Amino acid sequence: MQKMTMMQHFMELKGRVVRSLAFFCIAFVAGFYMSDYLHAIITAPLFEVWESPTMIYTGIADGLMIQFSLAGLFALFVSSPFILYQIWRYVSPALKKGEKKIALSILLISPFLFLLGAAFAYFVLFPIMFKFFLDVALDSAAMMPAVKNHLSFSVDLLKAFGLAFQFPLILVLLNRAGAVSKKQIMGWGRYIIVGIFIIAAILTPPDVFSQIALALPLVLLFGLSFLFMI
């Protein structure tokens, strides 16, 4: 294979960055026009357990800012596979066979684990958590959460669960790279489990329920990660 010059590398990188930005911008525009539908998806777990939902804006520009936030989240979600593909196409020629295998595994498994974590939060945690919050609310006060606060709360939890579910992949990669042995990781088991609960407490809101809801599947994934270690 003929080696590329520095200028050719730069031009290829520039082309892939431009294509990635263009894809992101198109997805952003589409997300902006779909913002009502996207917001309905975000609020669905809350509205399903709330008999008479009423949400409010607390700032005059909240409506527009929320549309921008939803559009950005949608664009990031939709364009991520395309951007990852562009990164892979740019770096893969410089990688050795073993390095390609590891890099490709990360590019394929990491997004899957992120989606798995976010899906767990959305479909399992959210309905139970919101029902709990509604049940413990005072009868003397009307429940009218701000749209902006609910969106921030929900998105932060989705990101927290998505990022936390990367933990088993990190352990397996460290093991496969020879940094730590399976026996060492098993010996650290009790400390890792304690660390999982500490991380769950940091990543989630300050309520015990959501912390346990994040920690338990991470402990399960930690156990499953041993199946892929050497």
| pLDDT on residue 24 | 96
CA distance 203 to 53: 27
| Low-confidence residues in the chain, pLDDT < 50 | 1
Query: What pLDDT does 13 receive?
Result: 86
pLDDT of residue 114: 92
| pLDDT for the residue numbered 43 | 94
121 close to 163: Cβ distance less than 8 angstroms: no
Q: What is the pLDDT of residue 4?
A: 67
pLDDT at residue 45 in the model:
93
CA torsion 116-208-171-228 (nearest 10°) is -50
Q: Quick one: pLDDT at residue 218?
A: 87
What is the structure's pLDDT at 76?
92
Say which residues have a Cβ less than 8 Å from residue 86's Cβ, sequence separation at least 6.
Answer: 16, 17, 19, 20
pLDDT at 167: 86
Look up the pTM and report it.
0.85
Residue 3: the pLDDT is 66
HSE-up (13 A, CA, CB side) for residue 97: 0
8 A C-beta contact, residue 197 and residue 216: no
Per-chain mean pLDDT for the chain: 86
